[in-house]
Amino acid sequence: MPVGVGSVREARTVPFHQSLPRLLRDPLGAIEEMGRESDGEITRVNLGVLRPYLVTRPEHVQHILRDNAANYRREGLMWKPLSRLVGEPSGADPAWPLKRRIFQTLLTGKNIETYTDEMAATIAANVDDLGRRYGAGAPVDCSDELTRIVYRAILRIFIGDRLSLADADRLGEAITIATTSSFRSRMLLPFVPHAVPLPGDHAFHQAVQKVDDIIFPIIEEARRQGVGEREGGGHDIVSLLLRARDDEGGKLDDQGVRDGVVSLFVAGTETTVTALSWLWVVLDAHPDVMGRLRDEIEDVVGTAQPTRAHLPRLRYTKMVLQELLRIYSVGWIIPRIVDRDDVIDGVRMHRGATVAVSPYLTHRVPDVWPDPQAFDPERFAPGRSRHRFAYLAFGAGPHQCVGSVFFTVEAQLIVASMIGRLRPVLHGPAGVRPQAGLTLKPREPIAISLDPVNAK
């Protein structure tokens, strides 16, 4: 039945006694099971205080994220834990259009082109450094080391010379702690009041304090230099946010600039590090894909430093990254709040309710993605088509990810450097399961070893 037409019914509901125990035991497993049981129908999950709608089919997602996006606001309880770290969710933040415009300026394809080669050189140097610091066969913690590489790659581009390398590392650590600690349980159990302490709360607050201690002085220093009061003064994110004016000439206060800077770092680093950690798990399970990837990288780049000119020819690398984000949809959930009563496919959507669009589930709808559990980069070969809202790795509609092109460029450069210059092999654990939090992280830390490129 087309969206919004026909007789109206209430959504099928998963009762409280079935939903909560399953969600507490294994949140992602429970959501996966509920997605399968719903068979594409919009389903309501009764968690007592919160009764979110679970949405999986691309045509329903299209209605929520694009066609009637104004009625599905990007705010609500599920965003609450994040707000202490990055500020109000974009749907509830009047300054968001201004911040989004600034992010887009920094991350347009044309702008990215101007700094790709500099980023490539930083990445290659840091991959070489990684190879030097760890001997052949020694386990390398993916999350720690990829965080270092990603922060160094984006540092000068995002923040110029306003942040030292040491502070960038401290910022990376603090953001990782903040987005793990109690954040995961608070996001999955958003109805637990903040007055009720949860394990990890203290670590979360300390980490956020550390982020503030690093970012606010940078803003103060930039203001002292007069940035924001006159034209000029750098293309880093702090300068851009300080100079930004909305249509009425309004500008951001220090808190607004701080929230913008931290949003960009959180959105642009955790996601990339997590995605690239999964890569080695996938390549370990699919030696054929690893073989093709290595052949392409050897053929296009070899052991040289990758550059912007190589990127268009790293086609298979890009397909592998796209399929990686289908299976391991790092942004696994996209929550919204229903503004006014609505009807989707005959199902009543009640005002005030939470809607959980889940890329993780949409990427597993079998009639859209045949054999959905199989890892097959060929799904993204040129000429293959599907419903526009079947692939949601970067969301869709007015809040669609502003960093998708940047991610692809950065990830192609990191993968080409790591595979071209070293022999990364999964050290363990094989077949690790994902765990749902802010991003879809591996349940246990992933380690790889890095042999020299001439080792077999």
Among 22, 51, 66, 100, binds ligand HEM (CB under 6 A): 100
Q: Tell me which stretch binds ligand HEM (CB under 6 A): 137-145, 181-189, 262-270, 300-308.
A: 262-270
User: Do the beta carbons of residue 417 and residue 121 sit within 8 Å?
Assistant: no
Query: Does the footprint of ligand HEM cover residue 401 (CB under 6 A)?
Result: yes
Nearest CB to ligand HEM, comparing residues 53 and 394: 394
- 401 annotated ligand binder: yes
Alpha-helical (H) ranges within 179-286 are: 183-188, 201-224, 237-243, 254-285
Nearest CB to ligand HEM, comparing residues 14 and 438: 438
Query: Does the footprint of ligand HEM cover residue 273 (CB under 6 A)?
Result: no
Strand residues in 6-138 grouped as ranges (E): 12-14, 43-45, 53-55, 72-73
Among 85, 402, 414, 450, binds ligand HEM (CB under 6 A): 402
**CB within 8 Å of 295: residues ≥ 6 apart:** none
Q: Which of 205, 197, 190, 192 is nearest to 85 (CA)?
A: 205
CA 79/CA 390 separation, integer angstroms: 24
Query: Does the footprint of ligand HEM cover residue 317 (CB under 6 A)?
Result: no
Which residues, numbered 114-153, are part of the site for ligand HEM (CB under 6 A)?
none
Query: Does the footprint of ligand HEM cover residue 407 (CB under 6 A)?
Result: yes
Among 73, 74, 162, 363, binds ligand HEM (CB under 6 A): 74
Tell me the helix, strand and coil percentages in the chain, rounded to 5: 55, 10, 35
CB of 260 to ligand HEM, least distance (A): 9
Query: Does the footprint of ligand HEM cover residue 275 (CB under 6 A)?
Result: yes
DSSP structure string for 369-384: SSSTTS--GGGGSTT-
User: Do the beta carbons of residue 196 and residue 243 sit within 8 Å?
Assistant: no
Query: Does the footprint of ligand HEM cover residue 320 (CB under 6 A)?
Result: no
Among 190, 406, 419, 449, binds ligand HEM (CB under 6 A): 406
Q: Tell me which stretch binds ligand HEM (CB under 6 A): 117-125, 188-196, 237-245, 395-403.
A: 395-403
Q: Tell me which stretch binds ligand HEM (CB under 6 A): 3-11, 32-40, 263-271, 445-453.
A: 263-271
Bridge partners, residue 342, by sequence = 349
CB of 213 to ligand HEM, least distance (A): 23
- Phi, psi (deg, nearest 5) at residue 44: -105, 135
Taking phi over 0 as left and psi of -120 to 50 as alpha, with beta for the rest, 76 belongs to left
Which residues, numbered 6-25, are part of the site for ligand HEM (CB under 6 A)?
none
CA 201/CA 285 separation, integer angstroms: 36
Give the residue numbers of the binding site for heme: 401
Give the residue numbers of the binding site: 401
Which stretches of the chain bind ligand HEM, using CB under 6 A? Answer: 74, 90, 100, 103, 107, 263-264, 267-268, 271-272, 275, 325, 330-331, 334, 393-395, 399, 401-403, 406-407
